[in-house]
Amino acid sequence: MNTNQSKQTFWIIFYGVLTSVSIVIMPMLVNVMKDTFGLSVAKAGQIASLELAGVAVSTIAVASLLSRYTFKQLAIVSLLLIILGNTLSILLTEYIMICRLIAGIGSGASLALMSAKLATQSNPEKGFAYFFTSYLLMATVLFYSGIYIHNYLGATGVYKLISGFGIIALFVIVLNKIQGFPKTSEEIQQEKTIIKTDWKNIGVALFAMLLFFIATGSVWVYMGQIGAAAGVSQENILSVLGNATIAGAVGSLLSSFVASKLGRTTPLILSVVILMFLMTGIMLFLDASNFTIIALSFVFIWMFSMPFLMGIVAVLDPQGRAASLGIGAQNGGQSIGPAIASVLIVGSNFTNVALMGVICLGIALLLCVYVLLQIRK
């Protein structure tokens, strides 16, 4: 990776982390809605689902707009939506559902733009690994700073912080730190040819990603509540969530080295199988004594697998449009998963949620194996 590309990668990842960190700290946002706004766990989960639905819809929209507008134009609009949605979440709490939807649309568009840029690089899996690592390290800092954010910025301080991140990212875009997308007719024609030729495999890969994130998203959004149901104190839950994001960052970084040694097939298959075992553990023997190790392992393996999943769609479409749709599938799954989970939760029992996760992961694994076999042909 040359110096210019390294600088571009840095600014792309910096922009992506600032504008999409709200997605990975969703458990904190759920707690704010529950504790500050007085909403039930199920209602807060449904609002989180709606926000993630906004993320998913906007990523699909971005995929269709990449050839019509410049990166800068799309980025500015998405950042204004992030700032607006999070600011209104503080001022208009009675309309929190609409406010979070606006914020989700902005975050999704920004994440899609970043993913499309990373997918055009020669080694997309490494770029995605670095992004997920940075993304999770930022989340770790926020989880550990939760009590300070509350004390110094108020009960809705996390919304103020995300708005501030959006303003910083806006300066990055205005100062032209990130270059626009290439627009040559040859590249556009190549993109159309790739999508037409590989559309079946792209569709299968996106559906597998959707199922994967239905499974993982349904568990992650409620991870704090799962810990509470297991008898873990709120202080320890916040500590575990912070440590879990560190574990995820390590897992994501490790994937960049594993990919160069083992490729993507074996690591991806093993990681999905391990996630299935962890969800089985949540169903059968989760308690306060093993919550920490299960939460840490869950996020470690989840983030380890994500660069490989994104690598599949990047290989199928090097122009980046499929990667943008991949983000839509991910966040669509993270939206659908908690919505289904909110119905499956029985009191403080999350067994049905974990069972749904195991089933979805099993189907996703079969579909991934199919696509990987097609790529090898």
Angstrom distance (rounded) from CA 327 to CA 55? 9
In the numeric block, the tokens 């110096």 are attached to 3
pLDDT band at 181 (very low <50, low <70, confident <90, very high): very low
Angstrom distance (rounded) from CA 18 to CA 30? 19
Q: What is the pLDDT of residues 283-333, one digit of tens each?
A: 887 777 788 888 889 989 998 988 888 888 878 876 667 777 887 788 778
Give the pLDDT score at 64. 78
Smallest CA-to-CA distance from 135 within 157, 116, 177, 107 is with 107
User: Which residues does 349 contact at the CB level (< 8 Å), separation at least 6?
Assistant: 229
Angstrom distance (rounded) from CA 247 to CA 249? 5
**Arithmetic mean of pLDDT, 332-339:** 79
Token couple for 169: 């990212």
Give the pLDDT score at 180. 46
All structural domains of the chain, each given as residue ranges with its CATH number in brackets, are 7-376 (1.20.1250.20)
Give the pLDDT score at 318. 67
Q: What is the pLDDT of residues 144-176, one digit of tens each?
A: 776 667 666 765 777 888 888 899 999 888 887
Give the pLDDT score at 122. 66
Q: What is the pLDDT of residues 20-72, one digit of tens each?
A: 877 767 767 777 777 767 777 777 777 877 787 788 788 878 877 877 888 88
Please give the model's pTM, rounded to 2 decimal places: 0.74
Tally the C-alpha atoms within 13 A of residue 110's C-alpha that lie toward its C-beta. 33
Angstrom distance (rounded) from CA 225 to CA 216? 15
Q: What is the pLDDT of residues 120-153, one digit of tens each?
A: 766 677 778 888 888 878 877 877 776 667 666 7
User: Which residues does 212 contact at the CB level (< 8 Å), separation at least 6?
Assistant: 272, 305, 309, 330, 333, 360, 361, 364
Q: What is the pLDDT of residues 272-284, one digit of tens each?
A: 999 999 988 888 8
Task: Please provide the average confidence, as pLDDT, over all residues in the chain.
Answer: 80
Angstrom distance (rounded) from CA 321 to CA 120? 9
Angstrom distance (rounded) from CA 207 to CA 314? 15
Give the pLDDT score at 324. 78
Pick 8 or 74 by higher pLDDT.
74
Angstrom distance (rounded) from CA 128 to CA 17? 12
Q: What is the pLDDT of residues 81-100, one digit of tens each?
A: 999 988 888 887 778 888 88
Instruction: Give DSSP secondary structure letters for 168-223.
Output: HHHHHHHTT-S------HHHHHHHHHHHHHHHHHHHHHHHHHHHHHHHHHHHHHTH
Q: What is the pLDDT of residues 184-233, one digit of tens each?
A: 444 455 545 544 547 788 889 899 999 999 999 888 878 878 888 778 77
